[in-house]
Amino acid sequence: MVLVGEIVAGLQKCSRTLFYCTNRKGLKLLHRFNVNFSSKAATEKSVPNTLDEYKDQLRCSPVQPNDPRLLKVSILGEPNAGKSTLTNSLLGWRVCSVSRKVHTTRRNTAAVLTEGNTQIVFLDTPGLVTPDHGKKHHLDSTLTTGPSKSVQHADTILVVVDVSNKWTRNHLDPGILKLLHRYPNKDCVLVLNKIDLLQSKQKLLEVSRSLTMGKVGGKDMPAFPSRRKNQKISLNSLFKVTEDKLEENNKVDTETGWPNFSRVFMISALDGNGVADLKTYFLETAHPSSWLYHCSMVTDQSPLEVVQMAVREKILEYLPKEIPYNLNLDIEMWEVDDAGVLKVAMSVICPRRGLVKILIGHRGRMISRIAEEAKQAVANTFHCDVSLKLIVKYKEDQ
Ligand SMILES: Nc1nc2c(ncn2[C@@H]2O[C@H](COP(=O)(O)OP(=O)(O)OP(=O)(O)O)[C@@H](O)[C@H]2O)c(=O)[nH]1
Ligand SMILES: [Mg+2]
């Protein structure tokens, strides 16, 4: 009590003191006494769980370090390639929603990684779809326009390919190729994701050869070396060869890929294999420039969006394909109690009576499971305890 009193008195007296805010309660205190947030150094990263804190964080102009460095990375890929899983893995923080179904990400989402004097802003985008596909499946316009908008402002384009998908892994999506051609001078990096599901190194090399048209960093890729049975070859050593050595190479089909990738990374966003190398690459290629966001910023999503996306993610995970896209999610109650527990009640509005039954499930098991897992996801984003209540409703003609 005495300590809080002292802090309050200190705040009132020393409005020009550089105040280091270390936790959410500290932020609230600053807010209560109208302390100019932007002039303070709130150093702890956080995802605000109230609209007021969120607005404060957005308003807060970045305190620039000595020699600030910045890199804006647009993450592109076909639906379900693992873009959001990779974003979370790079940040070490669950900020983006992930599910087994396509179109989990509905709009461009910024995820901010600040380390030392370097800030990297990742733009997680919806999976690339053609405008025709978007129209046919009644997808929001943010899904079709998001990727190209994000590339416009990026320094680096990160193309994520799911190597476990044998239908798509050997050629780049035409929409991605179109974007790469539109910005030929931007740095481009290829990520072969889900290597935990494709053990054959020979196949991985074939995929990367196809997607890069046999050229990486301005050099020809080496031919796959012959090897004795059971001899282990490290992928890293192969790529070292790629970068170090020029070799004559069989030309691959000119339509399959992009010959201007500066690097290729083989990773598993799910188990983290290879992600540290990718992160190091970004930290090293950041250029001298002012930071865009305050160092406490982790994501540009509003607290409401975080919860809605988490619930949608779990509905996507457990319900048949088309259903989740037809539901509306409305916040009914939002409260943070004195113990810091976030309490949310949300209605899930179904346009058909039949959906209500499916969503609730036998003895309410389905909706309880969705609520429980969404609650955990939200807690992992806000880093606070959460209570989440879902109310399933039927409403015609929404
Ligand atoms: N096995 C494996 N699964 C992965 C990996 N990365 C992502 N996944 C899974 O792939 C699915 C899709 O992942 P997301 O991160 O939602 O993919 P996305 O590209 O963001 O998808 P959209 O937002 O729909 O475009 C999820 O079930 C992930 O758990 C990986 O490295 N290995
Ligand atoms: Mg996504």
Q: Is the pLDDT of residue 13 over 50?
A: no
Same domain? 107 vs 241? yes
Output the six-digit token pair for 351.
Answer: 């346009």
User: From atom 1 of ligand 1, which residue's Cα is the shortest distance away?
Assistant: 194
Same domain? 147 vs 99? yes
Q: From CA 206, how far away is CA 200, in angstroms rounded?
A: 10
- Model confidence at 398, pLDDT cuts 50, 70, 90, reads low
> Mind listing the pLDDT tens digit for each residue in 130-152?
767 766 666 777 777 778 888 99
What domain range is 364 assigned to? Answer: 303-394
Residue appearing with tokens 């072969």: 192
Q: Is 348 within the bounds of a domain?
A: yes
Q: From CA 177, how far away is CA 14, in angstroms rounded?
A: 56
Q: What is the pLDDT of residue 144?
A: 74
Same domain? 362 vs 237? no
Q: What is the pLDDT of residue 255?
A: 64
More confident residue, 227 or 333: 333
Structural domain count of the chain: 3
Q: Is 84 a pocket residue for ligand 1 (Cβ < 6 Å)? A: yes
Q: Is 88 a pocket residue for ligand 1 (Cβ < 6 Å)? A: no
Residue 174 φ/ψ, nearest 5 degrees: -55, -35
- State the ligand closest to the CA atom of 147: 1
Q: Is 76 within the bounds of a domain?
A: yes
Q: What is the pLDDT of residue 62?
A: 93
Q: Is 105 a pocket residue for ligand 1 (Cβ < 6 Å)? A: yes
User: Are 138 and 92 within 8 A, CB to CB?
Assistant: no
Q: What is the pLDDT of residue 238?
A: 53
Q: Is the pLDDT of residue 246 over 80?
A: no
The size of the chain, in residues, is: 398
Share of the chain above pLDDT 70, in %: 76
Q: From CA 360, how far away is CA 156, in angstroms rounded?
A: 44
Q: What is the pLDDT of residue 163?
A: 97
The atom number, within ligand 1, closest to the CA of 77 reads: 19
Q: What is the pLDDT of residue 8?
A: 36
Q: What is the pLDDT of residue 104?
A: 86
Q: What is the pLDDT of residue 397?
A: 64
Q: From CA 104, how far away is CA 124, in angstroms rounded?
A: 11
> Mind listing the pLDDT tens digit for each residue in 55-113?
999 999 999 999 999 999 999 999 999 999 999 999 999 999 999 988 888 889 999 99
Q: What is the pLDDT of residue 348?
A: 94
Q: From CA 131, how far away is CA 333, in angstroms rounded?
A: 37
Average pLDDT over residues 179-183: 93
Question: In b/e form, how buried is each residue of 148-184, taking b as 16+ CB within 10 angstroms?
Answer: bebbeebbbbbbbbbbeeeebbbbbbebbbebbeeee
Same domain? 153 vs 252? yes
Q: Is 77 a pocket residue for ligand 1 (Cβ < 6 Å)? A: yes
Q: Is 53 within the bounds of a domain?
A: no
Same domain? 282 vs 308? no
Q: Is 263 a pocket residue for ligand 1 (Cβ < 6 Å)? A: no
- Model confidence at 221, pLDDT cuts 50, 70, 90, reads confident
Q: What is the pLDDT of residue 396?
A: 77
CATH number at residue 115: 3.40.50.300
Query: What's the mean pLDDT when you consider all of the chain?
Result: 83
Q: Is 294 within the bounds of a domain?
A: no
Q: What is the pLDDT of residue 102?
A: 86
Pick from 55-64, 185-194, 321-330, 374-383: least confident: 321-330
Same domain? 348 vs 374? yes
**Cβ neighbours around 111 below 10 Å, total:** 24
- Model confidence at 355, pLDDT cuts 50, 70, 90, reads confident
> Mind listing the pLDDT tens digit for each residue in 308-351?
999 999 998 888 766 666 788 999 999 999 999 999 999 999 88
Same domain? 98 vs 238? yes
Q: Is 161 a pocket residue for ligand 1 (Cβ < 6 Å)? A: no
Q: What is the pLDDT of residue 148?
A: 81
Q: What is the pLDDT of residue 17?
A: 31
Enumerate residues with CB within 5 Å of ligand 2 (an ion). Answer: 83-84, 104-105
Q: From CA 91, how far away is CA 323, in angstroms rounded?
A: 31
CB burial of residue 293 (10 Å; 0-12, 13-18, 19+): buried
User: Are 217 and 243 within 8 A, CB to CB?
Assistant: yes
Same domain? 171 vs 213? yes
Q: What is the pLDDT of residue 323?
A: 67
Q: Is the pLDDT of residue 387 over 90?
A: yes
* Mutational test site, ligand 1, from 74, 80, 163, 268, max ligand atoms within 8 Å of CB: 80
Average pLDDT over residues 158-183: 93
Q: From CA 236, how far away is CA 208, in angstroms rounded?
A: 13
Among residues 288, 312, 333, the one where a domain terminates is: 288
Q: Is 312 a pocket residue for ligand 1 (Cβ < 6 Å)? A: no
Q: Is 219 within the bounds of a domain?
A: yes
Which secondary-structure segment (H or E) carries 119?
A: strand 118-124
Q: From CA 290, how far away is CA 119, in angstroms rounded?
A: 9
More confident residue, 127 or 251: 127
Residue appearing with tokens 């290729």: 264
More confident residue, 26 or 130: 130
